[in-house]
């Protein structure tokens, strides 16, 4: 504990935990452990010259968690579980509000809401279409120049027509 190399060995232990962190498609237990160890190093050595490296590694690890969350939520859309997709995609935005996948996430929420509403029983269809319209406003307000905007407008027009009738 009194070694002059203690800081170096603590950093290397945290860095090894980072190297153990898997690809986004696998279980992220080691990713969380690596973040915790890097943060512990930062807290224990706040004036270390390695703080920037630790913060960069933490950002990279959080990016892995963000991608895992997005891809897992998107999978519900892919397999046709639209209600679950809406919930999971919204949870991704709660956990990662400034996500680099935010545009696609909001669009998939809109599309999933619409498809879910379209496949609903008649007595629930109107309310669920209103939810899809609300998701359109959220998406178009956030990304008015999106590459998805034309498809989003088509969804909005179809949903509005269904609500009118």
Angle in degrees, 0-180, between the axes of helices 51-78 and 29-44, rounded to the nearest 10: 160
Give φ, ψ of 98 to 5 degrees.
-105, 35
- pLDDT digits over 80-123, tens only? 999 999 999 999 999 999 999 999 999 999 999 999 999 999 88
Q: Given a cut of 90, is residue 163 above it in pLDDT?
A: no
- pLDDT digits over 123-135, tens only? 899 999 999 999 9
With a CB cutoff of 8 Å and minimum separation 6, the contacts of 119 are 82
| Residue 158 host element (H or E) | helix 149-164
| % of the chain residues with pLDDT over 70 | 100
Instruction: Count CB-CB contacts under 10 A for residue 21.
Output: 21
- pLDDT digits over 15-56, tens only? 999 999 999 999 999 999 999 999 999 999 999 999 999 999
CA distances from 47 to 7, 41, 103, 125 (A): 11, 11, 38, 59
The tokens for 79 are: 């397999």
Instruction: Count CB-CB contacts under 10 A for residue 30.
Output: 16
């Amino acid at each position: 504990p009194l070694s002059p190399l203690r800081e170096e060995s603590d950093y290397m232990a945290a860095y090894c935990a980072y190297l153990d962190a898997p690809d986004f498609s696998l279980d992220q237990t080691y990713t969380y452990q690596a973040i915790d160890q890097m943060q512990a190093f930062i807290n224990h050595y706040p004036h270390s010259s390695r703080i920037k490296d630790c913060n960069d590694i933490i950002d990279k690890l959080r990016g892995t968690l963000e991608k895992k969350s997005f891809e897992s939520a998107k999978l519900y859309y892919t397999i046709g579980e639209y209600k679950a997709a809406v919930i999971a995609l919204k949870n991704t935005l709660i956990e990662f509000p400034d996500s680099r996948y935010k545009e696609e996430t909001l669009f998939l929420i809109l599309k999933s809401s619409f498809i879910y509403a379209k496949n609903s029983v008649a007595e629930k269809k109107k309310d669920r279409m209103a939810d899809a319209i609300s998701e359109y406003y959220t998406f178009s307000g956030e990304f008015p120049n999106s590459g998805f905007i034309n498809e989003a407008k088509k969804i909005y027009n179809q949903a509005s027509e269904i609500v009118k009738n």
